[in-house]
A and B are shown apart, each in its own frame.
Chain A
Amino acid sequence: MWKRQLNPIDVGIGLLVIGLAIVLFRDSPHVYSLEQPELNLSVGYLPFYALASVARMIVAMILSLIVGLVVGYMAAVNRRWSQIILPAADILQSVPVLGFFPAAIFFFIRIFGNNAVGVELAAIFLIVTSVLWNLIFAVYESITTIPQDLQLASRQFGLQGYIQWTRVVLPAVIHKLAYNSMISWANGWYFLIACEIIIVGPIHFRLPGLGSYLAQSMSNGDYGHAIQGILVLTLVMVAFHLFVWSPLNAYASRFLYDTAESPARPGHGRSRLRFYMARSRLLHVVWDRGIRPLIRSMVSVLRFILEGGRTKRGSAIAWAVLAAFVLSIAWGVSGSVRDLSKPTPLMQDIPLALMLSFLRLLAAYVLALVWTLPLAMWIGRNERIARHVLPVVEVIASIPATAFFPLIVLFIIRRGGDMNLAAIILVTTGMQWYLLFNLIAGIRAIPEDLQQISDSLGLKGITKWKRLILPAIYPSLVTGSLTAIGGGWNAIVLSEYVVAERRVYSVHGIGALLDYATYESGNLQLIVMSITAMVLFILIVNRLVWQPAYELAQRRFALNY
């Protein structure tokens, strides 16, 4: 058996284990003491910074797509994996990006050293943590909702491996995956500013990029450069929306299941895109040399994970990987064992901070709902308005509001507002779009026949809201609220603590506490405790409020019978 050629997966995993072992036993505690110089803010460098950020985002996106497909598929087809993956993804997506800072520094910068490679990988890892989870859920949901008949047919024809992936799995996931990728992309940019300046206590890393450029110019009060940065950022987002996301989503809508209620409608983007795709030699090469082998290797990785565990060699490797993983985490934490033994100042502040942040979040949620619901009604009820207004709203939504945070804070405070109000408004920016787009989708999905019978029966005003609109949009309101609150928890870290004109503006709250712990004190214990408290709180609220609401949506308010 050992005479057979080693397959690349084995080699890859072997290298990973060896690499981890080297890192584990290499004694290099002083690698991360470098303070990088400030960025050069001159306009000539701006294109380079933009390119660097875009490249980082693209690498993070591609990695997340691959991992999302593999992990989402595993969760969808294997019940045991799903019991691990889904709760883990649920927990990890509620960990704010700052919570991954210690991991990024301990892991990547220790392995690769504090050179460009290590710091870049750390930044990409941080972007992945704000992009990935949404994609895993998209893949999982699309695969588990493949219509029964289709699943039966593909089983009956014995579709497996590469063919199963290209004929069933990818077509089934592409629509939701394309849409969620667009959301993830926007989300990644939202947290990019945080990812490009990695600070844990005395450890400072500043990557050249649009995010750090904006942060530095705003913090210096250098608004000329800040506005130039915002312009370039807007340009990048609009370009990606026009040339990547909008055609991709138009293309992906070809793969929707046709139902009697919503016959597939011909669109414009689709045929144009197909024309360009068919003529592109590059795309053919990319497909043949890149995507096809990629899918094949994903399939063999999956086969190895899902079936290899049953063989001796497979389970030995799996245990080795797991052991290495656990050891590396233990090693990362061990650096702060001395800290863990003494009580941390500010620890007793955590419960109050959590409550204050939660109240801020609720206020932001109400604020978001107040403006999105009427707008969603206006856009969703009229197909013609939706066609023209929706693309514009999508572009606006993709521009990361975090770039404006210092400006918003200074504006509010100079008008006599306080940081509390400012924090609420900033958190709203991390919630509003989830609500808006879910509500629009919900309103557009109200079946035509229910609309007609309501008109025919003369439903109007409050009765119409009570009997038709609210129940019909209830499932999307729940989904939208759930994601909005999740986004809000992530955003609160950036909203309660803002650096503007060389001054820190902050309010008491769990986000600010975590910011303080990470950026200023570098106290790992405080970081771990505030994140744990926050994640526990989020999970408890999810179980007590959103889970029942979601189940009610499925049971009573689903639009099928």
Chain B
Amino acid sequence: MATETPQPLLALREISKSFPNGIHILGPISIIVEEGEFVVIIGPSGAGKSTMLRTITGLTDLTSGEILYKGKRIWGVNHKTALVFQSFALFPWLTVMENVALGLEAQGIEKAARQKRARRYIDMVGLDGYERAYPRELSGGMKQRVGLARALTVEPELLCMDEPFSGLDALTASNLREQLLDIWLSKQIVTKAIVLVTHSVEEAVLMGDRVLLMASKPGRIVADRPVTLPRPRKPKSPQFEEQVDQLYSLIV
């Protein structure tokens, strides 16, 4: 056996966050995300799920604790991660292509190369033909596909998703979930782990390898359960319902 244990992809150590006025909103939280994992964070509104995701990506400062990425402490924004927003956060004045290629533009990659790579992910999420459209010309589902493609284009090792399906209608959401799972499970992308925030228990059981349950005031993790169902999962099967019920019982 090797003497060195491999470092986990992401480790949060006793992270916590307070507002300047002293109100304690998050933590202390300690979790580990391994390579190959699809982790779902679930909890009620105001539990600090989104705040936690933003600390993972480095968009928000911590009050105490530390974040280790592959064993190294992270200061500031972690560019090995990418974030998908509930609100899509598309730039209304940029085309689909320009939105998707924006991360590469920031890295100084020249136009032809970044368009080539962006096109690959635009195709992957099924938006080919819409490269020159503006966000306001797209439906909600298509906007979120742009958000997803934009995140994937920077080829993040850790993909963070903040309620990516909450702003969509049920049918579109279900479609997009299937597509994301398909992209992830078929290993079309270099991404090594996904952390997804949701408030839907069904979504958590459908997508996650592991579910973290959060409670509020202050935001903290109260349960950490693996989802043992084999994939592909069938949302109407008795086993699926059983897992959903178990999670619900933890929440109530």
Contacting pair B102 A467 (CB below 8 A)? yes
Contacting pair B106 A457 (CB below 8 A)? yes
CB within 8 Å: A-B pair count: 70
Query: Can you pick out 30 interface pairs between chain A and chain B where the beta carbons lie within 8 Å of each other?
Result: A449-B85, A449-B87, A449-B89, A450-B89, A452-B54, A452-B85, A452-B89, A453-B83, A453-B89, A453-B150, A455-B59, A456-B57, A456-B59, A456-B82, A457-B82, A457-B102, A457-B150, A458-B79, A458-B107, A459-B102, A459-B106, A460-B106, A463-B106, A467-B91, A467-B94, A468-B91, A556-B93, A556-B134, A561-B135, A561-B136
- Bound-state Cα–Cα, A561 to B138, Å: 9
CB 8 Å contact bits of B141-174 with A (1 = contact, 0 = none): 0010000001000100000000000000000000
A559 near B: Cβ within 8 Å?
A: yes
CB 8 Å contact bits of A46-59 with B (1 = contact, 0 = none): 00000000000000
Interface core residue of B54, B59, B134, B154 (most chain A CB under 10 Å): B59
Residue numbers in A under 8 Å from B83 (CB-CB): 452-453, 456
Of A453, A467, A468, A471, the contact of B85 (CB 8 Å cutoff): A453
Contact A463:B136 (CB < 8 A) given known A449-B89, A557-B93, A561-B143: no
- Bound-state Cα–Cα, A398 to B251, Å: 56
B206 near A: Cβ within 8 Å?
A: no
Contacting pair B79 A557 (CB below 8 A)? no
Give A518-561 interface residues, CB cut-off 8 Å to B: 556-561
Give B102-149 interface residues, CB cut-off 8 Å to A: 102-103, 105-107, 134-136, 143
Q: Which 3 A-B pairs have the closest CB atoms?
A: A449-B89, A457-B103, A561-B136
Chain B interface residue count, CB cutoff 8 Å, equals 29
- Bound-state Cα–Cα, A453 to B59, Å: 9
- Bound-state Cα–Cα, A467 to B79, Å: 18
B198 near A: Cβ within 8 Å?
A: no
Residue in chain A with minimal CB distance to B143: A561
Interface core residue of A467, A474, A559, A561 (most chain B CB under 10 Å): A561
Residue numbers in A under 8 Å from B79 (CB-CB): 456, 458
B77 near A: Cβ within 8 Å?
A: yes
Residue in chain A with minimal CB distance to B60: A452
A447 near B: Cβ within 8 Å?
A: yes
- Bound-state Cα–Cα, A401 to B122, Å: 55
B176 near A: Cβ within 8 Å?
A: no
- Bound-state Cα–Cα, A390 to B57, Å: 32
Distance (whole angstroms) from the CB of A384 to the closest CB of chain B: 9
B90 near A: Cβ within 8 Å?
A: yes
Residue numbers in A under 8 Å from B92 (CB-CB): 556-561
Residue numbers in B under 8 Å from A559 (CB-CB): 92
- Bound-state Cα–Cα, A449 to B106, Å: 17
Distance (whole angstroms) from the CB of A280 to the closest CB of chain B: 32
Distance (whole angstroms) from the CB of B92 to the closest CB of chain A: 4
- Bound-state Cα–Cα, A463 to B150, Å: 16
Residue numbers in B under 8 Å from A471 (CB-CB): 91, 93-94
Residue numbers in B under 8 Å from A467 (CB-CB): 91, 94, 98, 102, 105
- Bound-state Cα–Cα, A556 to B94, Å: 8
- Bound-state Cα–Cα, A471 to B79, Å: 24
Contacting pair A458 B134 (CB below 8 A)? no
Residue in chain A with minimal CB distance to B156: A456
Distance (whole angstroms) from the CB of A492 to the closest CB of chain B: 34
Size category, A interface: 20 to 34
Residue numbers in B under 8 Å from A452 (CB-CB): 54, 59, 83, 85, 89
B16 near A: Cβ within 8 Å?
A: no
- Partner-B contacts on A (CB < 8 A): 260-261, 447, 449-450, 452-453, 455-460, 463-464, 467-468, 471, 474, 556-561
- Partner-A contacts on B (CB < 8 A): 54, 57, 59, 77, 79, 81-83, 85, 87-94, 98, 102-103, 105-107, 134-136, 143, 150, 154
Contacting pair A458 B85 (CB below 8 A)? no
Contacting pair A458 B106 (CB below 8 A)? yes
Residue numbers in A under 8 Å from B54 (CB-CB): 452
Residue numbers in B under 8 Å from A459 (CB-CB): 102, 106
Contact A458:B91 (CB < 8 A) given known A453-B83, A463-B105, A561-B143: no
Distance (whole angstroms) from the CB of A477 to the closest CB of chain B: 13
Residue in chain A with minimal CB distance to B104: A457
- Bound-state Cα–Cα, A398 to B13, Å: 52
Distance (whole angstroms) from the CB of B64 to the closest CB of chain A: 22
Distance (whole angstroms) from the CB of B73 to the closest CB of chain A: 19
Distance (whole angstroms) from the CB of A258 to the closest CB of chain B: 16
Residue in chain A with minimal CB distance to B160: A456
Residue numbers in A under 8 Å from B98 (CB-CB): 467
Residue numbers in B under 8 Å from A455 (CB-CB): 59, 77
Residue numbers in A under 8 Å from B90 (CB-CB): 561
- Bound-state Cα–Cα, A452 to B77, Å: 10
Contacting pair B136 A560 (CB below 8 A)? yes
Contacting pair B77 A456 (CB below 8 A)? yes
Distance (whole angstroms) from the CB of A22 to the closest CB of chain B: 59
Known interface pairs A453-B89, A456-B77, A561-B88; 15 further A-B residue pairs with C-beta atoms within 8 A, sorted by A's residue number: A447-B89, A453-B83, A455-B59, A456-B59, A457-B102, A457-B150, A458-B77, A458-B79, A458-B106, A459-B106, A557-B92, A559-B92, A561-B92, A561-B134, A561-B136
Distance (whole angstroms) from the CB of A262 to the closest CB of chain B: 12
- Bound-state Cα–Cα, A559 to B79, Å: 26
Distance (whole angstroms) from the CB of A550 to the closest CB of chain B: 15
Residue numbers in A under 8 Å from B85 (CB-CB): 449, 452-453
- Bound-state Cα–Cα, A464 to B77, Å: 15
Interface core residue of B54, B81, B87, B107 (most chain A CB under 10 Å): B87
- Bound-state Cα–Cα, A449 to B163, Å: 13
- Bound-state Cα–Cα, A261 to B143, Å: 18
Contacting pair B103 A458 (CB below 8 A)? yes
- Bound-state Cα–Cα, A468 to B98, Å: 12
Distance (whole angstroms) from the CB of A213 to the closest CB of chain B: 48
Residue in chain B with minimal CB distance to A457: B103
Residue numbers in A under 8 Å from B135 (CB-CB): 561
Of A261, A450, A460, the contact of B91 (CB 8 Å cutoff): A450
- Bound-state Cα–Cα, A402 to B135, Å: 47
Residue in chain A with minimal CB distance to B90: A561
Residue numbers in A under 8 Å from B154 (CB-CB): 457
- Bound-state Cα–Cα, A549 to B166, Å: 36
Residue numbers in A under 8 Å from B82 (CB-CB): 456-457
- Bound-state Cα–Cα, A471 to B95, Å: 13
Residue in chain B with minimal CB distance to A558: B92
Distance (whole angstroms) from the CB of A475 to the closest CB of chain B: 10
Residue in chain B with minimal CB distance to A474: B93
Residue numbers in B under 8 Å from A468 (CB-CB): 91
Residue numbers in A under 8 Å from B57 (CB-CB): 456
- Bound-state Cα–Cα, A455 to B81, Å: 11
Distance (whole angstroms) from the CB of B99 to the closest CB of chain A: 9
Residue numbers in A under 8 Å from B136 (CB-CB): 560-561
